[in-house]
Amino acid sequence: MITALQTLTMLSAPRSMPIVCTAPSMPCALVPIAPGSEELEATAIVNVLRRAGWSVTLASVGVPGMDPVSCARNQLLVPDAAIEAPGILDSDYDAILLPGGMPGASNLAASSPLLERLRRQAAEKKWYGAICAAPAVVFAGAAADLLPQQATCHPAFIEKLEAAGCDANRFLDRVVVDDDRGCVTSRGPGTAIEFALKVVELVQGSEVAEATGGPMVLP
């Protein structure tokens, strides 16, 4: 039963469409979410990428099947599939992007299959990233080999990046790209659109990013 304080948000593509990217000319992304993920960040990432013509798979972690995921502010997001569904972790992605939120970031960090897929992404020199609590909780906390030297995160978690030896000169940047690691990080809900547009720029170029962001009437 969905209460008045909960919103059922359908971010997934129509169910007649494949949940795994099959078009070689279309950029593809995996956006994992878990109970307690920050819904504004997840929504912004998926929305911006789809505006730019991406195929995006919103995959649940720790929730059976396509059951709705209860996020940090009690908003329900309906995934395209569970992360363990056939083809999800085996598919190739131009980017794998983690929203933050608590305890969502901790729940993502506890997923060994997700961490292994992120490691494969990094080994293949393809983009991966995280925003808000996720850079600190998932990368610094659970998978230090994925933590880039150049990174940022939510102000409440900066001490974790500092303790891990990240470059403190970048902590106040809204979006940080570590080209050596192929990793993009960002600070929180208020920077989520910029975060997603930066990924569009990195994969498709500045013209596509500008064309995507223009109609959104950004500051």
Known catalytic residues?
Answer: 132, 154
Contacts of 200 (CB under 8 A, 6+ apart): 48, 49, 52, 54, 208, 209, 212
Rounded to a whole number of angstroms, the distance between the first and last alpha carbons of the chain is 39
Name the token pair of 124. 């293949």
Residue 209 and residue 218 in contact, taking contact as beta carbons nearer than 8 Å: no
Rounded Cα distance, 216 and 219, in Å: 9
Query: Rg of the chain's alpha carbons, rounded to an integer?
Result: 16
